[in-house]
Structures are given as structure tokens and as C-alpha cells.
Amino acid sequence: MSGRLPKYKQIQEELRYQIQQDVYQVGDLLPSENEMCAHYGITRTTARKALEELQREGYIMRRHGKGSVVVERRNSLGLLTVKGFSDVAGKAVRNIMVAKPHVASWDTSFVFTPSPTEEAGDCYRFTRIRCVEDDAVLVEVSWLDCGLVPGFDKQEFVNGSFFKTLSQCYLIEVLGSEQELQAISAQGTIADLLGIPVGSPILYIAVRYLTNKSGYYIYSKLYCNTSKYSIGNRFLSK
Amino acid sequence: MSGRLPKYKQIQEELRYQIQQDVYQVGDLLPSENEMCAHYGITRTTARKALEELQREGYIMRRHGKGSVVVERRNSLGLLTVKGFSDVAGKAVRNIMVAKPHVASWDTSFVFTPSPTEEAGDCYRFTRIRCVEDDAVLVEVSWLDCGLVPGFDKQEFVNGSFFKTLSQCYLIEVLGSEQELQAISAQGTIADLLGIPVGSPILYIAVRYLTNKSGYYIYSKLYCNTSKYSIGNRFLSK
DNA sequence: TAGTGGTCTAGACCACTGG
DNA sequence: CAGTGGTCTAGACCACTAG
């Protein structure tokens, strides 16, 4: 097992949890790097790494000469982070499997063209709807090479999570993703699943996930009704 | 002058330039960390910092035990990086000022509400269109507090760049941004400026830029025609 | 001025990829 | 196996912020 997390990650997650639990509230300063060193018995390099990651995740803002300030978290869809859709702050999220994984052929009408190795064989394909408080906000169609995940159509999802299943059952880790965003008009099935009129503007996101199995990708098409929940994003430079 | 760039930044920019110039092509390996240490006379920490930044920018992909691989750059809008819209790989980008900076009142119909300090006074407002090869793809309406940039309506843009002007004339640095994305239908003026039929689905992005002047922000509304150029994005974890 | 984060050095051990 | 990147230590000097 690769098992144990690096120290900086453990500390990062502990701090993130404390922010989520309001131990540190918006505007508060996190402990300084030196205080963290003393508290955890680590060096500044490790403390900094944890804090830099938290900044990248949008939980804090670091200011030279001042410290690490907890920043306001927006009430919008978890977005585009690598692992996809997860937390809409404080709201109940539900997933509905519309079409269970089944063998299909590759869809070619797509921004990302499958690699030749992939296109030669079949793929598994499945469709889910993501709801926030009973509003269907996202239709997600995903597919991946059959060779990558043998028996995937008979495999139960671990905790209902696709990525957890990949990691725990197939040792596949997602290293990153590429996305293309477009505004389009909702058509038949999609409009239907989202419960909106045909022709409504929706956000279409084509995603290609990079995995640790080189040459193999995971593809998703997301159709998102942004009328109630917009897609939030935060970037911090420096 | 704060002037000189840190070593890691210099190296990062040198490598990025070499990738852009095809000195290193897609699929190529960059020099290893140890090779870079020897070549530049630095330590691994510094070399790593440069490479991590390049990875974050989406130029390379780092693989444990293998090296730093140059990855394919997408042919889509420069996107959502902090400094906004810049390079559409290899295409001519042109900006048209539709409405020069002028004094206006705050727009309240907005995802981000101005802070009380801001709302008390007036603001400067201006509108630009961004074209890629003669296609208008983006309408951008920006505004910011009058107190932040005195005389902004009489100020020529440095190199036509809003951010350069802020930095060089007003010592304002952009530290990051928050964005909300939505798919909407194009209405009158916007449809007109983009040269598309009313009702066409477009991408609407509300942006709030964080600056080094605390309490002051810069706001933008982007209306983007994604039918020809989609918005590209890349995330790499770990 | 004291304390903070930003940069950097010079090491070390480990886990992973490839031949 | 040799070489790579991932993590970590124990220092250092500097620029920035705030009282």
C-alpha cells in the first residue's frame, strides 16, 4: 500500500477541516509558519507546503509580512477541481445513476479524440445526474477503456464514488484534467434530464482526465444547468 | 524598485520561452532537476519551484521516476488565468475599446457586491471587445473605484494593457481572482457586439480581481461567444 | 522594531519509472 | 539497476507589515 500521507498533506487536511468547522473563521489568521513548525515538529519547508496547497484550494490568502488569512468561500458548485463535483457548501448533494456502466463504442463527436489504442477496443459508458437539494443541476456522461477496468459493469461503486472505485479497485489515480467549456442550447434528452425547456442555455464541459496509466484517459461530458447554481472558481497568483 | 525577479522565476520564464519556441516540443523531456542544478548553479528546491510553476501553468507534466514532459497546448482561449485573456496559441488577438473609461455609478445587479467603501463613491467603467482573427469572441465590461485610480479616464493604457497600466501607473498588483460562470442567452447590445443572433447561448463570467489595495477590487463581466473558440482549462494535481 | 512570509542553500532518504 | 521526482531537515538572509 502506498498508504500513508505525507506530513504536509496531513497538516493541510487538518487545517482545512478546522476552517470548514469554523475553528478559523473568515478573516482569521492561521498560525504562522514558525508556530506551525513548533507545534507539529516540522521545518518551515513542510509548513509552507501545507499552506501553499491551502492557498491553491482557495481556503486562505497569504500576505507577506502579515500571515495566512482565511478567505470567504463562495456558495457555488464545487466546479472544475480535478476530482470533479463535490461540495456545494452546506447543501445536500445527491447522485442518480441514469445508465449503469455498460459496454459501448467510442463517441467520436468530441473535443478530445481517444488515442488509437483506446479507439481500437470498446469502452464502458455510464450516465449520472447530480442534484443539489432536489434540483438536477448536472448531467454527466463518462466513458473509459474496457481494458483499463475489467469487469467494471459488475463493479459496485465504493461509497458511490467513481474516483474512489478507480483508486481502490483498479489502482488508477487521476493526475489531472483538461477541460473545454462552451455555452450551448439544451437538446432533447439533456433538457429532459435537467427538467428545463429545450433551447435553454446550458454549460457544456468536455473533460479529459489524465491517469497514472499512461496512454489511457477517462472522458466525461458535463451538461450543467447554471441558472440556479453558477460554477465558482478562484485563482490566486504569486 | 522591487525590480529583480527571483531565480526560480527567471528559470521558469526561460524554460517557458523555450517551450513556446519549440526548443522543447510536445512529448520531450525537460532537463532533470539535477541537471538544472548543475546548469544554473542552484539547488533542487529552486529548480523544483520553477518546474512546479510550469506544471501549474500547464506547460509540462511531471512524472515520478520519469521527468518533466512537455504537454500539448490546446487551441482555445487563454481562459481564466488570473490576468485574464491573453494567448490564443498562434492567432492574432485584437482589442477594441468600445467605451473608454468614464465615471459611472456602481452596477448592483451583479454576483459580487461592491464593498461599502466602494459603493459610497463613483467608479470608472469601460468596455472592450476581444477579437481572435476578426471574430469578436468576448465582450468585457470592467469597473473599479475612482479613488483607486485617479485620473484614469485621461490615462492612456500602457501597451494597450489594462493590467500593465494598473501596475505601472498606479502600483496596483492583481493578486488573484474569483469567478462565477453561467450559460445565458445573448441579449440586445451584447448579441450585437458579438455579431450573433439574440438568444444564442453565451458564456457569462463574473469576475472579481483581488488587488494589493485591501478592500478594493476590480470587477469585470465577460460575455463570451464560445461557438468557435471554447474556453480551455487544465488542472494538474499532486 | 519584532514578526511574518519569500527565497535559497546543502544536504538526506525514499518511491517510482525504465531499461 | 541508475536516474528521476517526492518529501523532509536545518539552517540562512531578505522584504514586507504593523504597531
Domain ranges of chain A: 7-71, 78-227
Q: Strand D: which residues 65-94 of B lie within 7 A (CB)? A: 65-68
- The DSSP secondary-structure symbol of B71 reads -
pTM: 0.74
Integer Cα distance of A236 and A219 in angstroms: 28
Distance set, CA A99 to CA A107, A129, A133, A141, A169 (Å): 16, 10, 21, 9, 21
CA closest to C18 C1', residue: B66
Which bases on strand D have an atom closer than 7 Å to a protein beta carbon?
3-12, 15-18
Question: Digits of tens for pLDDT over chain A (238 positions)?
Answer: 334 788 999 999 999 889 888 899 888 899 999 999 999 999 999 999 999 998 887 788 888 899 999 887 643 343 454 344 544 445 567 888 989 888 887 776 666 666 666 666 788 999 999 888 888 989 999 988 888 888 888 888 877 888 878 877 887 777 777 778 889 999 999 999 999 999 999 999 888 887 777 677 888 899 999 888 877 766 654 3
Second CATH level (architecture) for the domain A78-227: 3-Layer(aba) Sandwich (3.40)
CA dist B226 and A171 (Å) reads 37
Contact residues, chain A, for B210 at CB < 8 Å: 61, 236
Q: Looking at CA atoms only, how far is residue B52 from chain A in angstroms?
A: 12
CB contact under 8 A, B226 and A177: no
Contact (CB<8Å) B175/A61: yes
State whether CATH 1.20.1250.20 applies to domain B7-71. no
Flag if A233 and B202 touch (Cβ within 8 Å).
no
Least Cα separation, residue B227 to chain A (angstroms): 7
CB atoms within 10 A of CB B236: 19
Residues 55-84 of A with CB under 7 A from strand D: 63-66
Q: Which residue type sits at B99?
A: A
Residue B206 to residue B108: CA distance in whole angstroms: 13
The reply to whether the CB atom of residue B34 sits less than 7 A from any atom in nucleic acid chain D is yes
Interface A-B: count of C-beta contacts within 8 A = 123
Which residues from 101-160 of A have any strand C atom under 7 Å from their CB?
Answer: none
In eight-state DSSP terms, residue A161 is B
